[in-house]
């Protein structure tokens, strides 16, 4: 329906309404409402026709929609008159007969047709549909922000979990020695109980236990050839290293069922046995085992990335609630 035709039909409804031809008026207004939905200057005359025809319930619904969408004062006045008409009808005697199928209509002299000109709004783009599309866009934006926040948290968490650049397990000890920085000789503990206390203070670092006895030639060879090897020492950085003399601490040897001297034992950060070797262990063999195990001291869980993501989600959600709050155009 083009503008000229709509204007002609709208002017026709004014004449029909003045002649109390409400059925014909309503038919034309329904046609205009389909072409220009949610238009105040069409909705209000429709409410007038419905009220004049005694269809108070439908008229009330249109008036309430006018108040919600436009806060239109005339709709409030029409609602008040509908209430008066319904109250008057309720007091009218029916002489013992059943009420009519449709409410009776009585004159409503204070109601007049709205003389404003018709607003032309494309039917394909009614105001509420635009608002709905806008809300959909907001939901998409929020979803993208949430996914980005979770992804950011995952990246930050992954980076925080990475230790120092590790060593390649396929490198030989000689090649690693050529690239490894100068390594300070490790500190060995000679008291097993004291080492356990330090282990608790180092956030459960892995532990290497070396069981020996005085005068053992194999133990002396390992001290000179294995535990002084720079590539091995670099791997043991941050570990708790304990030398246990089985003659002085038989309880520790008994606890770990040591039967051969020397014995090299590796415990993981949880205190579980991860490697055991009796007798001489070559530097290359120990290096390979350390490369395979690749223990890192345990760190407390890092919740900061998730807190950042949570704050972002909350802020965006609050913004969405604020933006999507319904507003009443005047």
Q: Say if 116 falls within a structural domain.
A: no
Whether omega before 262 lies within 30 degrees of 0, making that bond cis, reads: yes
Using CA atoms, how far apart are residues 310 and 162, in angstroms rounded to an integer?
23
Q: How confident is the model at residue 4 (pLDDT cuts 50, 70, 90)?
A: confident
Would you say residue 184 has pLDDT above 90?
no
Q: Which helix (H) or strand (E) covers residue 265, if one does?
A: strand 263-267
Residue predicted with more confidence, 135 or 174: 135
Average pLDDT estimate for 32-41: 88
Q: Which two tokens stand for residue 262?
A: 């020397």
Interval 78-104: pLDDT, tens? 999 998 888 888 887 654 554 444 444
* Residues sharing a CB contact under 8 Å with residue 299, sequence separation 6 or more, in sequence order: 160, 161, 203
Q: Which two tokens stand for residue 218?
A: 């194999």
Q: Say if 73 falls within a structural domain.
A: yes
Residues 153 and 222 in one domain: no
Q: How confident is the model at residue 272 (pLDDT cuts 50, 70, 90)?
A: confident
Residues 181 and 238 in one domain: yes
pLDDT averaged over every residue in the chain: 76
CATH number at residue 68: 1.25.40.10
Q: Say if 38 falls within a structural domain.
A: yes
* Residues sharing a CB contact under 8 Å with residue 75, sequence separation 6 or more, in sequence order: 44, 47, 62, 63, 64, 66, 67
Question: By three-state DSSP, how is residue 147 classified?
Answer: helix
pTM attached to this predicted model? 0.39
Say if residues 265 and 211 touch (Cβ distance below 8 Å). Answer: yes
pLDDT in the model for residue 245: 92
**Four-point Cα dihedral 96, 102, 104, 105, nearest 10:** 180
Using CA atoms, how far apart are residues 293 and 330, in angstroms rounded to an integer?
72
Residues 257 and 306 in one domain: no
Say if residues 3 and 82 touch (Cβ distance below 8 Å). Answer: no
Residues 231 and 284 in one domain: yes
pLDDT in the model for residue 62: 93
* Residues sharing a CB contact under 8 Å with residue 188, sequence separation 6 or more, in sequence order: 210, 241, 242, 243
Residues 9 and 99 in one domain: yes
Instruction: Name the residue among 186, 250, 167, 245 with its Cα closest to residue 212.
Output: 245
Residue predicted with more confidence, 53 or 313: 53
Range of the structural domain that residue 220 is part of: 173-293
Q: Say if 241 falls within a structural domain.
A: yes
Q: Report the percentage of the chain scoring pLDDT > 70.
A: 68
Q: Say if 114 falls within a structural domain.
A: no
| Count of structural domains, the chain | 3
Residues 178 and 283 in one domain: yes
Q: Say if 306 falls within a structural domain.
A: yes
Residues 16 and 74 in one domain: yes
**Four-point Cα dihedral 288, 289, 290, 292, nearest 10:** 90
Question: By three-state DSSP, how is residue 82 classified?
Answer: helix
User: Is 228 exposed, middle or buried, given 0-12, 13-18 or 19+ CB atoms closer than 10 A?
Assistant: middle
Q: What does DSSP assign to residue 99?
A: P
Residues 185 and 238 in one domain: yes
Residues 178 and 284 in one domain: yes
């Amino acid at each position: 329906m083009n503008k000229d035709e709509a204007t002609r039909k709208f002017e026709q409804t004014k004449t029909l309404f003045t002649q109390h031809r409400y059925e014909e008026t309503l038919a034309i207004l329904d046609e205009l409402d389909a072409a220009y939905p949610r238009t105040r200057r069409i909705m209000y005359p429709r409410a007038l026709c419905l009220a004049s025809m005694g269809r108070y319930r439908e008229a009330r619904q249109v008036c309430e929609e006018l108040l919600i969408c436009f806060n239109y004062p005339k709709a409030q006045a029409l609602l008040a008159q509908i209430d008066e008409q319904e109250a008057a009808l309720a007091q009218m005697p029916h002489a013992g007969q059943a009420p009519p199928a449709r409410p009776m209509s009585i004159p409503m002299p204070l109601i007049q047709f709205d003389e404003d000109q018709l607003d032309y709004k494309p039917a394909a783009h009614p105001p509420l549909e635009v608002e709905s599309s806008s809300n959909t866009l907001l939901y998409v934006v929020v979803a993208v922000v949430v996914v980005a926040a979770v992804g950011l948290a995952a990246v930050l968490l992954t980076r925080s979990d990475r230790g120092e650049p590790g060593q390649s397990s396929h490198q030989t000890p000689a090649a690693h020695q050529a690239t490894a920085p100068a390594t300070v000789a490790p500190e060995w503990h000679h008291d097993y109980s004291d080492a356990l206390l330090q282990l608790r203070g180092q956030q459960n670092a892995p532990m290497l236990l070396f069981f020996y006895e005085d005068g053992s030639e194999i133990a002396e060879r390992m001290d000179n050839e294995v535990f002084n090897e720079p590539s091995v020492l670099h791997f043991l950085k941050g570990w708790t290293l304990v030398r246990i003399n089985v003659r002085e601490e038989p309880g520790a040897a008994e606890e770990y069922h040591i039967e051969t001297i020397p014995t090299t034992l590796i415990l993981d950060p949880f205190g579980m046995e991860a490697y055991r070797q009796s007798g001489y262990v070559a530097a290359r063999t120990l290096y390979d085992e350390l490369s395979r195990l690749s223990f890192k001291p345990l760190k407390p869980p890092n919740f900061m990335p998730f807190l950042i993501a949570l704050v972002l989600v909350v802020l965006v959600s609050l913004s969405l609630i604020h933006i999507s709050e319904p507003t009443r155009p005047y």
